[in-house]
Amino acid sequence: MALKATIFKTDLQVADMDRGYYGSHALTIARHPSETDERMMIRLLAFACHADPALSFGKGLSSDDEPDLWQKDLTGAIDLWIEVGQPDERRLLKASARSSKVVVYSYGNAATIWWKNTAAKLERVRNIVVFHVPSSSSQAMAKLAQRTMQLQCTIQDNQIWLTGTEDAVSVEVAMLRDVSI
């Protein structure tokens, strides 16, 4: 018998002063049996950084055709495709052809090696942005994970603070590749 996803309920308050976005989101996050708290919290961070009423979680690890998060316009065209981890360059190339913008949130120590091997293969693609979250930040965020969470995310001057009921984490995010490259 296959293991089922674990369901997490999150009340996320986002105050993104850089974009002028302020919103409250009641989220239901299905964590795949092979997914760690660390990866799930990176998905949640990606949601907070791109928060929008049209942004939604995809099937993620259980699907090859959907990203971790995506945003579609009213016609069904994909405006934003977000991947978490170290996706294969073929997946990113396919995503860049299907959407207006692709964003990758890599994390952990292996991400540096992944990016070194992948960067040249994405050289000609102009709609892919790559961020890296260091292990210290991603592991600190993983400690905030609970089945029911109330989180506040504040973004100002490219600084991100994620606050739970008892702890707060200053999240470092480094841009490895910008669209303008």
Residues 54, 71: Cα–Cα separation, whole Å: 6
Per-residue confidence band for 165, with pLDDT thresholds at 50, 70 and 90: confident
d(CA 50, CA 48): 6
Residue 10 has a pLDDT of 97
Task: Write down how long the chain is.
Answer: 181
Dihedrals phi, psi of 48, to nearest 5 degrees: -60, -40
Share of the chain above pLDDT 90, in %: 83
Sorted by where each begins, the domain ranges of the chain are 37-149+170-181
Helices (H), the chain: 37-49, 89-98, 110-118, 135-142
pLDDT of 105 strictly over 80: yes
Q: What is the rounded distance in angstroms from the CA atom of residue 84 to the CA atom of residue 104?
A: 6
CA–CA–CA angle 100, 105, 110 (5° rounding): 135
pLDDT tier for residue 3 given thresholds of 50, 70 and 90? confident
Q: What is the pLDDT of residue 181?
A: 46
DSSP β-bridge partners for residue 80 = 71, 101
135-144: per-residue pLDDT in tens? 999 999 999 9
Distance between CA atoms of residues 51 and 149, nearest Å: 17
Superfamily of domain covering 37-149+170-181: Restriction endonuclease-like alpha-beta roll domain (3.10.640.10)
- Say whether pLDDT at 2 is over 90: no
> How confident is the model at residue 84, as a pLDDT?
96
Give the pLDDT confidence of 48-96 residue by residue, as tens digits: 999 999 999 987 665 677 999 999 999 999 999 999 999 999 999 999 9
DSSP 61: G
pTM higher than 0.75: yes
Cβ neighbours of residue 24 closer than 8 Å, sequence gap 6 or more: 11, 12, 13, 14
d(CA 132, CA 178): 12
Closest CA relative to residue 59, chosen from 122, 137, 136, 5: 5
Q: What is the mean pLDDT of residues 121-140?
A: 95
